[in-house]
Structure 1
Amino acid sequence: MAFEPPQRLVRALGETAANGDDWLERLPEAARRAVALRELTVERVQVPGGRSSLVLLVRRADGTPAVLKLAPPRARPESERVALAHWGGRGAVQLLEPVAEDGALLLERLHPEMSVRSLPEAKALLEAAGTLRRLWVEPPRGHVFETVAGRTGRQAEAMRASAGADLVPLVDAALAARAELVAAPPEHRLLHGTFRQSKVLAGDRMPWLAVGPDPVVGECAFDLARLVRDRVEDLIASPSGAAMTRRRVKRLAESLEVDQERLRGWTLFRAVESGARARRVGRPQDAELLLEFAAWL
């Protein structure tokens, strides 16, 4: 079977590829080796799939359905492996293979066609928030996960370097919010890192389970901030979008017991960072939506 990467993955990795990075070229052969090593039967490549990995729907030698995930080193698959092992299936997809020399992840099969995003908005937010709460645990002792301060520090430098004159006020506000937030975080928990409604899939073992973490250690409000802007296109299209956004911040902060102002600050920073990055890599429509959303905060 040919393991051609979906175009969504090719485009996304092309935005961040460094010179000399031939991971995509080596991917078909790497996938064949990973399948053979585990004696898997491939049903199909998941399409459109994710933006940072190739996902194969497979069956193990005993017929059990599973998922094989291959990601480039810059997507930090080993960090994902350690986080999934630490969660042990509580709120997240179950890791089926604790150690793998080739870096591939063998995971329990969920239902990729059904994410929380398919639910009505209010129900989707409720279910997503409940899933996220289960992931906020003490990190493993001696962990080497990236910190919120470290990750956002790198992002802040990129924002400063690439912001055009029209973005300076928003970037300045986002950077000021970050500086205040990282100075005194209220807790240090293991966080999903890229949590949103589409990262919560229906399962058999539990109704909803999170997938695709890019784990980081820091305060819970950072993780929740990405959820605030879910369905941003619907918020922007609504005449009351700004008011709806402020109500969403308040409702999510109260339901998950995080400080509302800290959630607002991280939502601002993450929206501006994502908008500036979208503009930098040539996605002007995404950038416009995110930056308009950020201006409401």
Structure 2
Amino acid sequence: MPSADVIIPDELVRLVSRHVPDPGMPTGADWLDRLPALASAVLQEWDLELDGPPRHGYSALVLPVRSPRGRAVAKIVWPHTEGRDEHRALQLWNGRSAVRLLAADPARWAMLLERLDADRTLEQEAAGSALGELTATEDLGVLITALDRSAPPWADTLSDHLRELRTDLDVALAPASNAVAFPRRMLEEARALASDLLTDNGLDARLTHTDLHHGNVLWRPDPGEWVAIDASVLAAEPGWAFQPVLLNTWPALERATNLRQAVRRRLETLADVTGVDLDRARALAHLRLVRDALWELEAAEVDRMQVTRLVTVAKALAGR
């Protein structure tokens, strides 16, 4: 199949172009240049036929296809550390509460996945009413619990992640740092929390989907259930998965009479459903919020609105 048949969505080009590459991995521009030919090669070698317009995630091209195994999607990911083990996690979950993996080509960062209902997300289900919002948060808590496994040896660890974060925080707290607009007290609190957590020997015990939020949950029509997609995993603990849920469906938070209470209600619901200690959940969420804000400030094009949201949610969790 000629590469001209594979259309790369403009929005994917915009998103990937602003990503900061991990060491030893291609820039967004380099990967995008190779993507049409890469997608054509995957389609040809897996005997796939395009079956609809292309879709995309934050860092991946998603092509609806017909395959020898029926209707499916081919997913080709921009190489980055967080997405490296997606196929391994999907193999481990084996379709239980997660999208089913049909084939993988790790060298090309390509996967063949079951076709879910891409037009029915938990994000859409949550829109419109307070009841929908609460139910969606509970559904996410149920999925976090269902995906919980003992951490495999191949997974990166939260301990290593926190050591790197502590170093980044030291840089941000330095007098010459360009992160002067970031609340210093928040940085200091995050550093103290990271140091405290690193004394816990059980920090890396479980496999955690670190990007599980309303938009990364799709409907599986048969038998009729919500399942997780976009498996970005870490050897951590279930509470590390809460932060994306606190940020997603931002308009619902903005409409809330009291944003602070709305954020805390989400956290409390997740902690209750999963059995995670609330103070522990709050500490882990605070660390991730600060980390993501620092990452955003390093982007080629800083999304100031996203930084504001991250800081706003972190402030909502502060205190009692």
Mapped to 2, the partners of 1:158 and 1:36 lie a distance apart of: 43
After superposition, give the CA deviation of every residue in 1:141-160 in whole Å (9 maximum; x if it has no partner). xx221111223433444454
Match of 1:273 among 291, 294, 319: 291
Identity %: 25
Aligned position for 1:153 = 163
Gaps of at least 5 residues in structure 2 are 126-131, 173-177
Instruction: Say if 1:178 and 1:269, in contact at 8 Å, map to a contact too.
Output: yes
Aligned position for 2:304 = 284
Alignment CA distance shift 1:166-1:33 (3 Å): closer
Mapped to 2, the partners of 1:100 and 1:213 lie a distance apart of: 14
Aligned position for 2:128 = none
- One-letter code of the match for 1:194? D
Moved more, 160-169 or 264-273: 160-169
Per-residue deviation at 1:105?
0.4
After superposition, give the CA deviation of every residue in 1:112-164 in whole Å (9 maximum; x if it has no partner). 11111112211211222212211101133xx2211112234334444544522
Alignment CA distance shift 1:152-1:233 (3 Å): farther
- One-letter code of the match for 2:230? G
Per-residue deviation at 1:6?
2.2
Per-residue deviation at 1:170?
1.4
Moved more, 118-127 or 182-191: 182-191
Q: Work out whether 1:234 is the aligned partner of 2:252.
A: yes
Mapped to 1, the partners of 2:186 and 2:285 lie a distance apart of: 13
- One-letter code of the match for 2:158? V
Scaled by the length of structure 2, the TM-score of the pair is: 0.84
Instruction: Say if 1:118 and 1:124, in contact at 8 Å, map to a contact too.
Output: no
Mapped to 2, the partners of 1:7 and 1:72 lie a distance apart of: 15
Mapped to 2, the partners of 1:242 and 1:77 lie a distance apart of: 32
Moved more, 185-194 or 118-127: 185-194
Moved more, 83-92 or 165-174: 165-174
Mapped to 1, the partners of 2:225 and 2:141 lie a distance apart of: 13
Scaled by the length of structure 1, the TM-score of the pair is: 0.90
Aligned position for 1:169 = 185
Instruction: Say if 1:85 and 1:98, in contact at 8 Å, map to a contact too.
Output: no
Runs of 4+ in 1 over 6 A off after TM superposition: none
Per-residue deviation at 1:185?
5.5
Q: Secondary structure at the match of 2:103?
A: coil
Aligned position for 2:15 = 12
Mapped to 1, the partners of 2:239 and 2:77 lie a distance apart of: 27
Question: Mapping of 1:29-178 within 5 angstroms?
Answer: 29-47=37-55, 49-61=56-68, 64-75=70-81, 77-97=83-103, 102-119=108-125, 120-140=132-152, 143-159=153-169, 160-161=171-172, 163-178=179-194
After superposition, give the CA deviation of every residue in 1:178-233 in whole Å (9 maximum; x if it has no partner). 22223216461111121111111001244111000111111111112322333234
Q: Work out whether 1:198 is the aligned partner of 2:198.
A: no
Mapped to 2, the partners of 1:131 and 1:42 lie a distance apart of: 31
Per-residue deviation at 1:74?
1.5
Alignment CA distance shift 1:13-1:155 (3 Å): farther
Alignment CA distance shift 1:239-1:157 (3 Å): farther
Mapped to 1, the partners of 2:248 and 2:202 lie a distance apart of: 25
Per-residue deviation at 1:252?
1.6
CA RMSD of aligned residues (A): 2.2
